[in-house]
Amino acid sequence: MQKVRWGILSTSRFAQTKILPAVRHCAHVELAAIASRDLARARTVAAEFGIPKTYGSYDELLADPDIDVIYNPSPNHLHVPWSLKALEAGKHVLCEKPIALSAAEAQTLLEASRRRPRQKIMEAFMYRLHPQWQRTVAIVREGGVGEPLTIQTWFSYFNADPNNVRNQADIGGGALMDIGCYAISLSRLVFAAEPLRVLGHADFDPRFKTDRTTSAVLDFGRRSSTFTVAMQAQAYQRVNIVGTEGRVEIEIPFNAPPDRPCRIWHQRGNDAGDTHEIAFEVCDQYTIELDAMSRAILDDTPVPTPLEDAVANMRVIDAVAASARSGAWVDLG
């Protein structure tokens, strides 16, 4: 079976707990190398996961001619700089979300990718590829909720560690960037549209200067999406999509567990008895994501989520942040 040779640009905790374990189940991924600015750390991680090559700098990894694609899980402020360097080195790129610190920065990455049309680049919104979201979108598209009217999203966890990158404002930390990006992405996905305007509100941590809670309304015309994301609250997540004739509820919409089934509920009509639970077989959404990227490279087909979508998502993130600062609606044209 054909495989693509992957290099991991960082030994981040996220890479170690989510991506590297998922690779073991991939059909089209060969984990070929890992880099860290601490070579000893790279060697330790490589020994644990059976990675043959290690590098003590990111540049050395990018210079390896045997690497086809780079996975970039670095802190947010390094997403665009190192993704650009990877493209310049002739590599395909899977970069963690959010793709950039701003829509303008994301646009520079898009323009660079257009100059290299044979190289694939994608923002790592893994949730979109999970079967529960594939089914949810299909239900909405097929009229399973009637006309979709509103989406409500909650996503929270507790993290008050001052050393965690999510609590460092100058490198793109905060709730909106870290998890608000999901609420915006899924709203645009389900409605298959862009919001006309947004209204945001944020509460900032006085120590970290990051938004620890952000709420927003996304106005899609007759349709709307509301969300609250929080970094210092009880851990919880849920998405509800309600239409004129039904609803869909996703139990674990984002951190779908790789070791037990996921569930959604679909209600059609006003009788609660018409609510059907839909269970999905155990799967790892990161395995699906890595294989999907690899198949796009092997088959020279478009990636599941084009970079244009990542730029559009950043535009909405920028607008919510601006609205939270001003207290007023921000138009998106």
The C-alpha atoms of residue 3 and residue 26 are separated, in whole angstroms, by: 9
What integer pLDDT is reported at residue 30 of this predicted model?
Answer: 97
Tell me the pLDDT band of 271, cut-offs 50, 70 and 90: confident
Interval 288-293 mean pLDDT? 98
The C-alpha atoms of residue 30 and residue 25 are separated, in whole angstroms, by: 11
Handedness of CA 120, 315, 125, 245 (dihedral sign): negative
- Quick one: which of 8, 1, 92 has its CA closest to 58? 8
Q: Phi-psi region for residue 241, left (φ > 0), alpha (ψ -120 to 50) or beta?
A: beta
- Is the per-residue pLDDT at 333 higher than 90? no
- Is the per-residue pLDDT at 209 higher than 80? yes
Give the CA distances from residue 138 to residues 57, 112, 186, in Å, rounded to whole numbers and listed in that order.
Answer: 43, 33, 13
Instruction: Give yes or no for a contact between 237 and 156, defined as CB atoms under 8 angstroms apart.
Output: yes
pLDDT in tens, 95-135: 999 999 999 999 999 999 999 999 999 999 999 999 999 99
Interval 301-330 mean pLDDT? 98
The C-alpha atoms of residue 117 and residue 123 are separated, in whole angstroms, by: 16
* Residue 186 one-letter amino acid: L
Instruction: Give yes or no for a contact between 294 and 93, defined as CB atoms under 8 angstroms apart.
Output: no
pLDDT in tens, 2-43: 999 999 999 999 999 999 999 999 999 999 999 999 999 999
Tell me the pLDDT band of 273, cut-offs 50, 70 and 90: confident
Instruction: Give yes or no for a contact between 153 and 227, defined as CB atoms under 8 angstroms apart.
Output: yes
- Quick one: which of 28, 39, 40 has its CA closest to 94? 28
Q: Are strands 197-204 and 330-331 parallel, antiparallel or unpaired?
A: antiparallel
What integer pLDDT is reported at residue 158 of this predicted model?
Answer: 98
Tell me the pLDDT band of 270, cut-offs 50, 70 and 90: confident
DSSP code string of 249-275: EESSSSS--SSS-EEEEEEESS-GGGE
Instruction: Give yes or no for a contact between 18 and 286, defined as CB atoms under 8 angstroms apart.
Output: yes
pLDDT in tens, 52-111: 999 999 999 999 999 999 999 999 999 999 999 999 999 999 999 999 999 999 999 999
- Is the per-residue pLDDT at 272 higher than 80? no
Interval 42-48 mean pLDDT? 97
Instruction: Give yes or no for a contact between 169 and 243, defined as CB atoms under 8 angstroms apart.
Output: no
Tokens coding 260:
């037990």
* Phi, psi angle pair for 164, to nearest 5°: -75, 135
Q: At what angle do helices 131-141 and 181-191 cross, to 10 degrees?
A: 40
> For the whole prediction, is pTM greater than 0.95?
yes
pLDDT in tens, 144-193: 999 999 999 999 999 999 999 999 999 999 999 999 999 999 999 999 99
**123 strand-pairing partners:** 95
Alpha helix positions (H), 142-216: 175, 181-191
What integer pLDDT is reported at residue 15 of this predicted model?
Answer: 95
- Is the per-residue pLDDT at 269 higher than 90? no
**122 strand-pairing partners:** 94
